[in-house]
Every structure is written in structure tokens, then in C-alpha cells.
């Protein structure tokens, strides 16, 4: 990976300069490229991460450290994508997001194949069945995301006659060949006890060769610009800044029915839904029941996220602050309640596999360990959850951070992702039905909710009272014809945030009060049952002993008087 990154830097610079490879060897030119050009900075970042991974991989012995290194690796792999040719194409949310999914899926697929080649035969017996499942999902992700990316980048009226299209077709053929090999893998594995490991090893070697060929074609595609779609407009401000053409003036039907897919967010939602459905299926096959209401709640939460990121609301959120704030409330207030009430952690704990023996933690054990870790206890502190939930509002909207993140696809994505995570953490702490490492009294939960309501109201009033724009000129640069008064729209967004933010918190207050009453009722029933059981055994229970203590105490006070 390190060698490949270094080679990519030199060849990319030579391609940009339009000169021979030796021109890129000039230290001054190379230093300028890596420190002053955005693409070069991304390549340098990726190379540094690859070096860290190489130096750290041999010393990693714990599962949590392995997961952290995996996340770092994924970040390094996808970093240059945000400055690829997809980033400058129309429908950039679809183009960039699909390319990220494509590269990540291909990395798991390719990495798994090469790992199977280099591990010993004993580990391969364990790894191959597991990789078979991972390879299937990776193949699906690669095919779907690749098709979506081709759709976003190619002008289908003329582009299929270009060299770029021929390379796309060649890559499709290789992908189909890889899928066929994957089918042979699964067919061989289905025999289980009669697996021909020699033949399987040869097939893996051939698959690795085909994968490398596909990767070479993919590298060529990423380094060359796709055919440009024919356009009558010489310059489109919205397409240049936001990567999306300006939509028509908003109406109820357009907001409800429009769709501008954010492929990266859709990919995450598909994974979440697939895992949830898989968990429900596992419980059903086992004979256990899972409440339908929880499944519906989770589905509604996912649907709200999709509507606020890829649906009409997500589309218009790019062009007007009022719609952005509406989407923020959907992502940070409404969707998290649905997800939390869907109890995904409980479902995971009931369905995830355990370790093969007492020394192996397994996926379930890793989840339990994460929940009860110091980091887990830190983030489930209600004050910390409140600070992240409401404090981030001021950090985002009353600094230059908001304008900068709106102008970047990666910034906009992580802003939306933060809204979801912050809201989910907050409502998990105060109204969640999943296991929590902290036992938080209901009174404390209600106080936290009231504090959140007050802070949110203060933020909204401050935003409504603002006499300056907070977007650093982003919305003005779009030149949206149906949005003339940006300050009035910003004040409108503050009012929407106030109104939409109070209602979910009020509902959470009601839910917390109901949970409080139910817990008291369950505790009273437990005490009554314990009293009856102890009475049947002829022994005093805790309540009777406590009442006796109070009686004796009152008698002593009476005697003193």
C-alpha cells in the first residue's frame, strides 16, 4: 500500500504537469504539490496513514486496537476520493458516495482474498467460511455502487463510444468473472467436510490476479475524467458550488417526491437495515418473538434519515437555510427517537454470535465490552450527552464551521452524521430502552430534558435575532432565483428550529414520566410478591422489617416525651 501510494503520487503529478515521469522527481515541485495542492494533501495524508498501518499492524494484539486500525485504514483509503473527478461532476452526492462505497467494498474483497493466500491452512479453515459471507456482501456493494457511479458520470447518449466507456465495460466483465469465482467458492464451501483445499487455493490465486486487473482499470478510471455531459449553460453556480442543479421553487409535492441520492448515506442505511432484519430473522428462526412496534419504529427512523438527506428535504436543504434547519431537526430530533425505540442494541445482544470458546470474546462480547468501557460510561453521562446534543449547535452555527462544512461534500456528510449520532446518544440516555452502563434516575432524566429544552430555545432565539448571515456566503454563492432575502430565511430557520425542537423533547418528557410510573408499578408488584412469598414461609420480609423498625422508633420517641 505504501509503495502504491508513493507511485500514485509521482504518476499523478506527472500527469498534472503533462510531462515525463522525471519532471515529478523535482523536490521543489513535489513539495509544492504535497503541501499546497488539495489533491496532493489528500495523497500525503493517505500515505502517512498507510505508513502508520504498516508500522502498527505487527504490534496489534487486541480486538479493539484492530478495529481502530481498520477504521484508520478505511479513512486513508477513501481520503483522495473526495478530490477525484467524481467530486467535480454533477450529482456529486451520488458520484462521490457511490465511489466511496465501491472502493471500501472492493478493499474488503481484495484484502480478504490476499489474506486467505498468506495465512496458514489451519487459520484458513476458520477464515474461508466467514470471508465467504463478507465477499458476497462486498460483491453486491461493488456492483451496485459501480453501476450508480457510471450512471452519474457518463452521458449515455454519446459516452459509450469513448475509451473511458470501453474501460468501464472491461471492468464490468472482470467483475462478472469475480462474481462467478465467488459462486464457485460458496459451492465448494457448501460441501464442508469434502472441501478441496488445493483447488480452492488455486482458484483464490486466479481470483487475486483478476482482482488486480480490475484494480488497474479502476485506477485508470479514477485518474481520467469521464466524458462531460452536454449542457447549454456555460456556467451554473449551484452545480459548481453544491454539485447539484438548482431545483424548482419548493412546493409540498416537490419536497415530498424529489430525490437526490446521497450514495454514502444510503449505503450506511442499507447496512443498518440489513443487520436489523438479519437479527429479527435469527430471533424468529430461534422461536423468539421481537415486538413489531420496535421494527416499525426503527424503519420510520431510517426513513426519516433518508428523507432528510436524499429526499426532497435533503435536496432543498442545500439551497435554503430554513430547509437545512428543518432537515437538522429531522436528523437530530425525530429520527433518533425512532432508532432508539427500535432497541437495536438489545436486538444485537440477543442475536450476535459469541466466541467459539471461553477465551474468544466474539462479536457479542466485544459489544458488551464497548458498552461498559470507560469511553462508553463517559459518553452515557447525561451531562456529556447534553453538552454534545445542544453544545454542538453553538459550535457549529455561531462559528465559521457551518459555512465551511456546507461548501464541502465530506463536511456536509459528517455534519448530518453528527446530527444523527448526537441525537441518538441523547435520546438513548434519557428515553432509551436498550441496556445502559449507567443507571440514571428518572428525575435526573427529566431535569436533563428540561435543560435541553431551555438551551435549545435560547439558541433558536439567538439565531432569530441575528442581523448577520452565518453561512460565510455559501447560500449567496448559489444564486438561487427563488430565494431573495437570505436573512429572513435564516430567521425563519431559527423559528422552525425552535418549534420543531420543542415538540420531540416534550414527547420525550411524557415518555420518561410514563417509564417512571411503570418502573414504580413494577417495583411495587415485586415488593408485594416478595411479601407474600416470605409470609408463606413464615418469615418477615424487608418491608415488614422496615415497618417494624419505624414502629419501634416512633415508640421510643413517644417514651422520651
The tens digit of pLDDT for each residue in 42-58 reads: 889 999 999 999 888 88
Mean pLDDT for 297-303 is 96
Dist CA 320 CA 318 (whole Å): 6
Task: Tell me the pLDDT band of 326, cut-offs 50, 70 and 90.
Answer: very high
- Predicted confidence (pLDDT) per residue in 224-240, tens digit: 777 765 554 456 777 77
Q: Assess whether pLDDT exceeds 90 at residue 536.
A: no
Q: Which three cell numbers stand for residue 57?
A: 499492524
* Grid coordinates belonging to 165: 466507456
Q: Calculate the alpha carbon distances from 544 to 519, 539, 550 in Å.
A: 21, 10, 10
Q: Which grid cell is 531?
A: 411479601
Positive or negative, the Cα torsion across 425, 328, 300, 142? Answer: negative
Q: pLDDT-based confidence at 219, cuts 50/70/90?
A: confident
Cβ neighbourhood burial of 256 (10 Å; 0-12, 13-18, 19+): exposed
Give the cell for residue 414: 459528517
Predicted confidence (pLDDT) at residue 295 exceeds the cutoff of 90: yes
Q: pLDDT tens digits for 435-482? A: 888 888 888 999 999 999 999 999 999 999 989 999 888 999 998 999
Its pTM stands at 0.82
Using alpha carbons, list the distances in angstroms from residue 290 to 75, 239, 533.
Answer: 36, 46, 32
Look at 357-361, 386-390, 460-464, 485-489 and tell me which has the smallest mean pLDDT: 357-361
Task: Convert the pLDDT of each residue in 382-433 to its tens digit.
Answer: 999 999 999 999 999 998 899 889 988 888 999 999 999 999 999 999 988 8
Q: Which of 504, 489, 345 is nearest to 423 (CA)?
A: 504
Residue 323, pLDDT above cutoff 80? yes
- Residue 256 pLDDT: 94
The percent of residues above 70 in pLDDT, for the chain, comes to 84
Amino acid at each position: 500500500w505504501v509503495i502504491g501510494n508513493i507511485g500514485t503520487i509521482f504518476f499523478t503529478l506527472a500527469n498534472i504537469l503533462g510531462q515525463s515521469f522525471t519532471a515529478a522527481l523535482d523536490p521543489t515541485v513535489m513539495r509544492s504539490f504535497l503541501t499546497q495542492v488539495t489533491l496532493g494533501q489528500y495523497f500525503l495524508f493517505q500515505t502517512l496513514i498507510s505508513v502508520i498501518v504498516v508500522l502498527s499492524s505487527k504490534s496489534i494484539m487486541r480486538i479493539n486496537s484492530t478495529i481502530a486500525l481498520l477504521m484508520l485504514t478505511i479513512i486513508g483509503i477513501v481520503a483522495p476520493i473526495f478530490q477525484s473527478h467524481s467530486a467535480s461532476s454533477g450529482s456529486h452526492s451520488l458520484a462521490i458516495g457511490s465511489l466511496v462505497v465501491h472502493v471500501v467494498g472492493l478493499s474488503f474483497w481484495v484484502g480478504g482474498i490476499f489474506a486467505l493466500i498468506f495465512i496458514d491452512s489451519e487459520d484458513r479453515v476458520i477464515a474461508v467460511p466467514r470471508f465467504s459471507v463478507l465477499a458476497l456482501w462486498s460483491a453486491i456493494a461493488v456492483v451496485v455502487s459501480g453501476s450508480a457511479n457510471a450512471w452519474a458520470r457518463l452521458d449515455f447518449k454519446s459516452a459509450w463510444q469513448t475509451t473511458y466507456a470501453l474501460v468501464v465495460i472491461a471492468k464490468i466483465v472482470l467483475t462478472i468473472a469475480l462474481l462467478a469465482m465467488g459462486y464457485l467458492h460458496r459451492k465448494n464451501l457448501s460441501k464442508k467436510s469434502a472441501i478441496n483445499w488445493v483447488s480452492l487455493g488455486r482458484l483464490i490465486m486466479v481470483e487475486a490476479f483478476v482482482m488486480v486487473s480490475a484494480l488497474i482499470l479502476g485506477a485508470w478510471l479514477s485518474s481520467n475524467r469521464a466524458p462531460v455531459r452536454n449542457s447549454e449553460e456555460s456556467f451554473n453556480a449551484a452545480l459548481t458550488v453544491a454539485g447539484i442543479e438548482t431545483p424548482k421553487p419548493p412546493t409540498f409535492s416537490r419536497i415530498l417526491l424529489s430525490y437526490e441520492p446521497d450514495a454514502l448515506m444510503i449505503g450506511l442505511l442499507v447496512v443498518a437495515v440489513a443487520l436489523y432484519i438479519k437479527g429479527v430473522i435469527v430471533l424468529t428462526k430461534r422461536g423468539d418473538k421481537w415486538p413489531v412496534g420496535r421494527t416499525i419504529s426503527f424503519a420510520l427512523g431510517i426513513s426519516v434519515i433518508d428523507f432528510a438527506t436524499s429526499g426532497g428535504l435533503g435536496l432543498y436543504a442545500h439551497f435554503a437555510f430554513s430547509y437545512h434547519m428543518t432537515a437538522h431537526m429531522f436528523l437530530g430530533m425525530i429520527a433518533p427517537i425512532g432508532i432508539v425505540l427500535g432497541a437495536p442494541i438489545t436486538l444485537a445482544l440477543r442475536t450476535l454470535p459469541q466466541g467459539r470458546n471461553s477465551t474468544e470474546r466474539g462479536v457479542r462480547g466485544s459489544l458488551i465490552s464497548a458498552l461498559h468501557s470507560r469511553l462508553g460510561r463517559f459518553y452515557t453521562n447525561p451531562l456529556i450527552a447534553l453538552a454534545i446534543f445542544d453544545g454542538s449547535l453553538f459550535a457549529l452555527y455561531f462559528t465559521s464551521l457551518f459555512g465551511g462544512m456546507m461548501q464541502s461534500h465530506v463536511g456536509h456528510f459528517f455534519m448530518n452524521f453528527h446530527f444523527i449520532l448526537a441525537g441518538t446518544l441523547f435520546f438513548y440516555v434519557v428515553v432509551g430502552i436498550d441496556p445502559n452502563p449507567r443507571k440514571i434516575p428518572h428525575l435526573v432524566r427529566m431535569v436533563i430534558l428540561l435543560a435541553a429544552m431551555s438551551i435549545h430555545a435560547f439558541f433558536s432565539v439567538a439565531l432569530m435575532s441575528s442581523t448577520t448571515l452565518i453561512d460565510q456566503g455559501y447560500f449567496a454563492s448559489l444564486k438561487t432565483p427563488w430565494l431573495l432575502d437570505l436573512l429572513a430565511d435564516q430567521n425563519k430557520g431559527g423559528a422552525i428550529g425552535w418549534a420543531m425542537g420543542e415538540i420531540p423533547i416534550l414527547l420525550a418528557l411524557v415518555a420518561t414520566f410514563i417509564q417512571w410510573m411503570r418502573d414504580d408499578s413494577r417495583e411495587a408488584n415485586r415488593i408485594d410478591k416478595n411479601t407474600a412469598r416470605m409470609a408463606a414461609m413464615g418469615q418477615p420480609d424487608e418491608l415488614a422489617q422496615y415497618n417494624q423498625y419505624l414502629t419501634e422508633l416512633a415508640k421510643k420517641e413517644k417514651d422520651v416525651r
